[in-house]
Chains A and B, each alone.
Chain A
Amino acid sequence: MSSTPTAGGRTVTVPRRPGSVPPAPNPAPGGARTPAAQPSPATRPGRAGLRARMRRTPGRLRIAIVLAVLASLLVSLAGVLVATLTTATSSGVVDRVSSILELQSARADLVAANGTASNAFLVGGLEPTSQREAYDAYLADGATRLAALADSSVDPDNTLGPALASLTTYAGLVEQARANNRQGFPVGAAYLDTASALLAEQILPPIDAAIIANAESTATDLNSRAGTAGLLWIVVAGAAVLVGIQIWLARKTRRTINPAILVGTALALVAWLACVLAVNTSNEAVTETREGPYAQTLAVSQALSLAGEARTAESFGLIQRGSGAAQEETFDERIAQAQAQYDRPTVRGASSASDLESWVGGHDLVRELDDQGDWDGAVALATSTEPGDPTALYVTFVETATAEVEQSSAQARDGFRSAGTGVVVAGWALVAAGLVCAVLSWRGINKRLEEYR
């Protein structure tokens, strides 16, 4: 508004039209203008006019509308990020748990196949049909799993492909061992030895590396999920902007509170609080699953695989008849690693641990016989399938451990999947709250703006 003198000496106040152009400044002394000082016809008056408009209240109200809407949309953006990231990491973690389990199963199958082939070698030239069938089944299962994994995202560096090729060579070596053994040729033992070395040096290491890589990726996802809460600072920033606008409006207008912005801000903050609590609850659930069924799945599946390697060492110890000390060291090492898995504080109530102990007790009897010079007795005990004998104890351990892995892995997948549900819902609620807040903020400030029209 401005005051203009009238002919009667009074002054009247006329409202200044929004966007009115201020009077042009006086020309420079002498009336001359330097070219640099002369504004270009198109831009100078436009920029100056814009700046002038922004200095006035309606212009500032328009800026406030833009800021409030942007702040509200920022709240929505945080909700989108929280919801989509949580969905993606939940899905990724569940998939990787399945992948790790498949890798562990493939490893355990191949180790079991090797152990069965070695054990069958002890019997003589004509291996028992049941052991032959067991070897074929283990090898087929392991190869099928490995083939599926080699052609997937589980193996981005394609290290499982060469391992799969080596597995073909391994199977060929075992067949040569079997054929020579059947003819009574000692070279069969050399083929079996070569096959085992191939498995240990070229097939199992890539599988182990893939297991570790996937476990690391899972850990990264789980850890980053805990950091999802950090995204919620965006909401706090957006709310701070809205509160700032509210305070500015209170100073500029006679109304202390703009109800629309207040409701919008409150909605955003309620949604934010729900999100924070959901993330907190989710993190607790993830930690519980990670330290519970997930840890148990990894521990028991690794123990299963390590026990298979130990059993192979037992058979090679007997094949080397009385000179199996090095193999016994391998046996002890693998069993110690398996027991260490069961001893982890996060692994509780795995009954396969006691079954492992029972089988190790049976193994000790086998070694005792061999060390005393009763090799025939040791072999008879190691290859017997009678209940209570080492082979039956080993089978019991494998069955119990396999069932435990299946159960705990299902729990782990369910736990990781459901842990993200609340966060996703809260995230989308935050999106909705942000959008509503944007509309309310626009309407709330626009009402004040209309008073100037």
Chain B
Amino acid sequence: MTANVSSRTRARTAVAAVLAAVTLAACGGPSGLDDLGRESAAVETETDAPATSAPPAQATCEDATTSYDPLEVLPEPGQFPAGSTMAEIYERGSLIAGISADTLLMGSRNPLTGEIEGFDVDVLRDVSTAIFGSPDRIQFRVITSGQRVGVLENGEVDVVARTFSMTCTRWETIAFSAEYYDAGQKVLVSAESAATGLDDLSGQRVCAPEGTTTLTRLEEYPVEVVPARTHTACLALFQQSQVEAITGDDTILAGFAAQDPYAKVVGEAISTEPYGLGLQADDVDLVQLVNAVLAQRVADGRWQASYDRWLGVLGADAVPPSPEYGRS
């Protein structure tokens, strides 16, 4: 009896299997994306959109280059008032600085030594010496031009030394040291070009980095504006003939010309670009210390030595800018 039931059950199971197999026709199944374990939305390869910030609107004022009064006497390294910004940095053990690592002459990584070096970096080393007694207590954060204001507003860095023009708009959210270099916006073209300025480049492609005053000013000329993530990316585009010219501060363009013998910097500066160190808006005490350091390095010849080493190609007759103080 049990055997009969069992054989009947087996028979039914077999019949069910046959029916199931026969009725499987045209049933759907897993898709290729299911086999790959992907969602359809994840198929598209994401491309990182460049972190751009809109070029700053050009507010006008009379005191863009006016900074806070310098400390009358520089304290000894480590001897800072309790609660001051310098004491906090000293306790931390390093000065966090936003810099460029690819702007030859101003701030770039030497591939042979691995060191970050340049005119901007020399200023930071002197600030480090004033706080720690050593020029090497700097924690570098490589940033793009467009990130300069943001990293200060967010408190990610103590100071920015990255060919940073002092403007009224930027003063609204951050602070600047006194001016330490007076640059000017020029144009870099091919060595065989007859152009002598932006006016001669009508309708041609001219590159400038995103989020800079350079880009904003370029829009006033009848050229095809090509933005790039960094200034050095402009040089790569220039060498690939994707742009006919690059505009930027003469300091930056001098570094480009040094990397490319088939490029030249032409014309008179179409603007003045007063460089200052960017600092957090509330760190007035640190600004005052930095201003004292800047004044000292002019007085003892360090400014001139640094200029001669890095920017001598721009001319031997350069003089340090006269600092303006009195901001309150």
Contacts and interface: CB of A to CB of B under 8 A. Distances in A.
Given A125-B111, A190-B236, A373-B94, A295 B22 contact: no
A219 B34 contact: yes
B22 A233 contact: yes
Interface bin, chain B: 35 or more
A219 B30 contact: yes
Given A200-B45, A233-B25, A298 B35 contact: yes
A321 B157 CA distance: 13
A213 B34 CA distance: 12
Interface string A198-233: 001100110011011111111110110011111111
Interface string B98-115: 000111100011111110
A330 B51 CA distance: 14
B245 to A, nearest CB: 16
Interface string A176-213: 10001110111111110110010011001100110111
A328 to B, nearest CB: 12
B108 A326 contact: no
A186 B103 contact: yes
Given A184-B112, A280-B20, A283-B21, A190 B36 contact: no
A442 to B, nearest CB: 28
Given A185-B104, A186-B103, A194-B236, A216 B31 contact: yes
A223 B28 CA distance: 6
Interface in A121-137: 124-126
Interface stretch (A37-45, A251-259, A271-279): A271-279
Nearest to A192: B236
Given A229-B22, A230-B26, A124 B112 contact: yes
A344 B25 contact: no
Contacts of A226: 24, 27, 29
A174 to B, nearest CB: 12
Interface in B10-27: 17-18, 20-27
Given A212-B43, A290-B35, A184 B110 contact: yes
Contacts of A233: 22, 25
Contacts of B147: 323
Contacts of A341: 37
A213 B36 CA distance: 11
B297 interface: no
Contact of A189 (B34, B101, B141): B101
B296 to A, nearest CB: 26
Given A125-B112, A186-B101, A273-B18, A215 B33 contact: yes
B233 interface: yes
Contact of B32 (A180, A186, A217, A283): A217
Interface string A282-303: 0100000010001100110010
A229 B21 CA distance: 6
Shortest Cβ-Cβ A-B pairs, 5 listed: A230-B25, A215-B32, A216-B32, A223-B29, A373-B139
